Amino acid sequence: NYSDFFEQHYMPYVKVRKRSWKTDSSFYRLRLKAEFGDLRLNQITRQHIQTFHTRMSDEGLAAATSNHYLKLLKHSLNLAIDWDMLDINPASRIPLFHEDNQVENLLSDEQLERLMMVLKTDENRMVCQIALYLLSTGCRLNEALQAKWTHVDQQHRVWKIPASNSKSKRLRAVPLNDSALDVLNQLSTRGRYENIFINFQTQLPYTTISKVWGRLRTKAGLPHLRIHDLRHQFASFLVNSGQTLFMVQQILGHSSPAVTQRYAHLSTKSLQE
């Protein structure tokens, strides 16, 4: 049945090949096991999958989340075909929901000033420094949390993100501006720890900052501001200062120019001004 296949074949395969295997495991436990677990692979029908996909949307799940379930089913059953355990993939050709995930909570000057005031004065200095570093480099949160001092060359003002830490799975060099260097110079972890950002309560690198970030953004009167919005904000700084979309793509590490096109409207505004 699908449960045996997923647990005994699919998971051992992806654990060493897919960074997000824990997400797959979670999705399986949350919904896929109950829905398809007892069925033989050749008993899973296209109609059943289509109904399941639609029901998740009706229950209020985001389009992106519903699509992730469908993509996981499709990927796992494709592997079953590769391994001669199934002839036809019933999940193929089922259309994904349209994902309107282009949300950008770009800050006004006044909102940015409020956020900066909190980040420069709040007592949790390390998490504030992490947020300031994100705002100064445009990096992803996990890239910052996994950053090591050996990756930083302050003399040449560059931070090299190894392929193992990069979403694109390619080595990326991020130029460090004055603001980013200022953050690094304020830290006391150099020479004492391998990682740049350390939780001094646990003496370990941070794995998440969501709870503290929730408090900081509320304190700044910006309860809607996601940590990933700091990356978008940095991109807007670049575009509004006259940098090209190619430059934005290179610094942010987008795998394709199409991803960077979301900032094209900012570029048009900059040209008009």
**pLDDT tens by residue, 16-50:** 988 889 999 999 999 999 999 999 999 999 999 99
Say what the pLDDT of residue 254 is. Answer: 83
Residue 92 contacts by C-beta under 8 Å, 6 or more apart in sequence?
A: 74
DSSP string, 162-207: -TTT-TTSS-EEEE--HHHHHHHHH-S-TTT-SBSSEETTTTEE-S
Rounded to the nearest angstrom, the gap between the alpha carbon of residue 8 and the centroid of all alpha carbons in its chain is 28
**pLDDT tens by residue, 68-120:** 999 999 999 999 999 999 999 999 999 998 765 565 678 889 999 999 999 99
pTM, entire model: 0.67
Q: How far apart are CA 61 and CA 272, in angstroms?
A: 39
Judge contact between 49 and 73, C-beta under 8 A.
yes
Say what the pLDDT of residue 169 is. Answer: 66
Say what the pLDDT of residue 102 is. Answer: 60
Euclidean distance between the first and final Cα of the chain, in Å? 62
Say what the pLDDT of residue 243 is. Answer: 85
Q: Which two tokens stand for residue 15?
A: 């654990």
Task: Kindly indicate the confidence band of residue 270, based on its pLDDT and cuts at 50, 70 and 90.
Answer: low
Task: Kindly indicate the confidence band of residue 262, based on its pLDDT and cuts at 50, 70 and 90.
Answer: confident
Mean pLDDT of 173-189: 95
Q: Which two tokens stand for residue 194?
A: 């391998």
CB atoms within 10 A of CB 10: 22
Residue 39 identity: L
CA distances from 58 to 17, 53, 62, 90, 188 (A): 33, 9, 10, 22, 50
Provide the 3-class DSSP secondary structure of residue 255.
coil
DSSP string, 4-48: HHIIIIIHHHHHTT-TTHHHHHHHIIIIIHHHHTTS-GGG--HHH
**pLDDT tens by residue, 138-168:** 999 999 999 999 999 999 999 999 887 666 6
Lowest mean pLDDT segment, chosen from 115-119, 191-195, 208-212, 269-273: 269-273
